[in-house]
Amino acid sequence: MGSTTYQSSGRTFQATAVAIAAYSAVSLDSNGLIAVSGDNATEQCIGVTTEDIAASGYGNVQLFNAGGTCEILAGGDTIAVADTVYLDGDGKVGQDTSNTKIGLALQASSTDGDVIEVYPQNMALIA
């Protein structure tokens, strides 16, 4: 697979036919393509894009299992430092506890599109 790059903290993936903004939470589909993560309790989010990715293009994803923190888009909910954040649709995080838990906010946000630092936790969903 010449189009895939493996690193200790990230991996190159191909996007679906929809462009993905930098710092978006992404999920993997059955074809091995990435798309922005939705807002439901069963979303299998794998990591965060580190760059803008064109439709059907290739880009790096910082994998949640790599350790450390990540930068991720906030969805507009008021988020305080030390709040638990959850997927909020469109690849962003927010405060809706009925969605997939992402981790602990290390920065505050109250504006849609803010990029905040998050410590990812409890990312494994076992079916």
Residue 108 counted as domain residue = yes
Q: Residue 90's pLDDT is what?
A: 93
Q: Residue 124's pLDDT is what?
A: 54
What is the rounded CA–CA span in Å between residue 59 and residue 120?
A: 20
**For the chain, where are the E strands, in sequence order?**
10-15, 25-28, 33-36, 45-49, 58-63, 70-73, 84-87, 93-94, 101-105, 115-120
pTM summary value: 0.89
Question: What's the domain count of the chain?
Answer: 2
Q: What one-character DSSP code corresponds to residue 79?
A: B
Same domain, 103 and 56: no
Domain that holds residue 110: 70-120
Residue 1 counted as domain residue = no
Residue 79 counted as domain residue = yes
Q: Residue 8's pLDDT is what?
A: 61
Residue 109 counted as domain residue = yes
Same domain, 59 and 74: no
Q: What is the mean pLDDT of each run of 10 residues along the chain (127 residues)?
A: 57 97 96 93 90 98 90 96 94 94 95 95 57
Q: Residue 1's pLDDT is what?
A: 40
